Structure 1
């Protein structure tokens, strides 16, 4: 089956297509690859730090929400007691 605009010999599930090499300089390509890997590792470390901070803030939010629920229960009980006295 053929579709307009698509050629039958384009990969997809076929054999791997040979990609052109970078600059042809093996040392420069290896150094660039090493630099990219270092950048990825640094980005992962940054993401781990952000995730840690998010988890800490979420813990604080959970504690505050729990405290607010306790205070709301206290206020509701006081309101009911005041209403009974009147």
Structure 2
């Protein structure tokens, strides 16, 4: 499928993207090495974010459990007060 103004060879999520080459093997190798370092750094950042998300989710789950316990306690107190009247 092609769209006006866009080339068909633009890489998508699943398609490998070719790095532009300058014709100089050394420069191309250095550029590829730099791209690999950037990808590795981005992966590490994503791992750190995922770890943080898991930690926050655990805290949220703990607080939700505590809230449920408090709500049960409040409901029981409300029922006891209603019975006394």
Q: Shared topology, TM-score over 0.5?
A: yes
In structure 1, C-alpha distance between the alignment counterparts of 2:35 and 2:21, rounded to whole Å: 14
In structure 1, C-alpha distance between the alignment counterparts of 2:22 and 2:57, rounded to whole Å: 47
Q: CA RMSD in A?
A: 2.0
1:83 equivalent in structure 2: 82
Aligned residues: 70
Q: Secondary structure at the match of 1:77?
A: helix
Q: Secondary structure at the match of 2:67?
A: helix
Deviation at 1:47, TM superposition (A): 0.3
2:58 equivalent in structure 1: 59
TM-score normalised to structure 1 length:
0.76
2:29 equivalent in structure 1: 30
2:39 equivalent in structure 1: 40
Unaligned runs of 5+ in 1: 1-9, 11-18
Q: Which has the larger radius of gyration?
A: 1
